[in-house]
Amino acid sequence: MVEVPATLTQSQRQIRNLIGVSTTSACILVNPDGEMGIYFIFSSLGIRAEGIYKLRISFTTGLPMQGKLDSITSIVMSSSVFSEPFTVYTPREYPGVVGTTALSKCFMDQGMLINTRSGGSRYRA
């Protein structure tokens, strides 16, 4: 969930700011230091309006119907956490593309699909 910054106009507040796939499952991956961990990859999220945002990430569990493991009767939110604040820029103010991180490269080597930039062109690993 995106927290709406106070600097948005009324018309900006009424549009859906978060675009892309906003759900994912846990992945067990090894980081560049060789440590195994549980990661959640959101490779195609975007925000339409400039501002400073925090994402609220909620962890949920589907409870099976009594006696039927393949049917979910309810979803229970078990925990919620906020991301660190980050800035979304207008095209004019955008400072430029950050290089692909070692963590992203490591996850791509393990088969994760992550959008990156290489030589100015976009590809999926």
- Report the CATH number that the domain containing residue 29 is assigned in CATH: 2.60.40.3960
In the structure encoding, which two tokens stand for residue 35, read together? 């440590």
Residue 117 lies in a domain: no
CA 50 to chain CA centroid, nearest Å: 17
- How many percent of the chain have pLDDT more than 90? 30
Give a yes or no: residue 59 inside a domain: yes
> Within a domain: residue 44?
yes
- Is position 5 within any domain? no
Over the chain, what is the mean pLDDT? 79
Domain range holding 53?
A: 10-96
Nearest alpha carbon to residue 88 among 46, 44, 41: 46
The whole-model pTM stands at 0.64
- List of E strands, the chain: 18-20, 27-30, 36-39, 45-47, 51-53, 56-65, 68-82, 86-88, 115-118, 121-124
Number of independent structural domains in the chain? 1
Whether the CB-CB separation of 65 and 71 falls below 8 Å is answered with yes
For residue 17, being part of any structural domain is answered with yes
Residue 58 to residue 46: CA distance in whole angstroms: 18
pLDDT digits (tens, 9 = 90+) for 76-99: 778 888 999 999 999 899 888 888
> What's the maximum distance between 2 C-alpha atoms anywhere in the chain?
57
**Spatial contact of 102 and 114, defined as CB atoms under 8 Å apart:** no
User: Do residues 51 and 60 make contact, with C-beta atoms less than 8 angstroms apart?
Assistant: no
- The rounded distance, in Å, linking the Cα atoms of 4 and 12 is 10
105 found inside a domain: no
Domain membership of residue 119 (yes or no) is: no
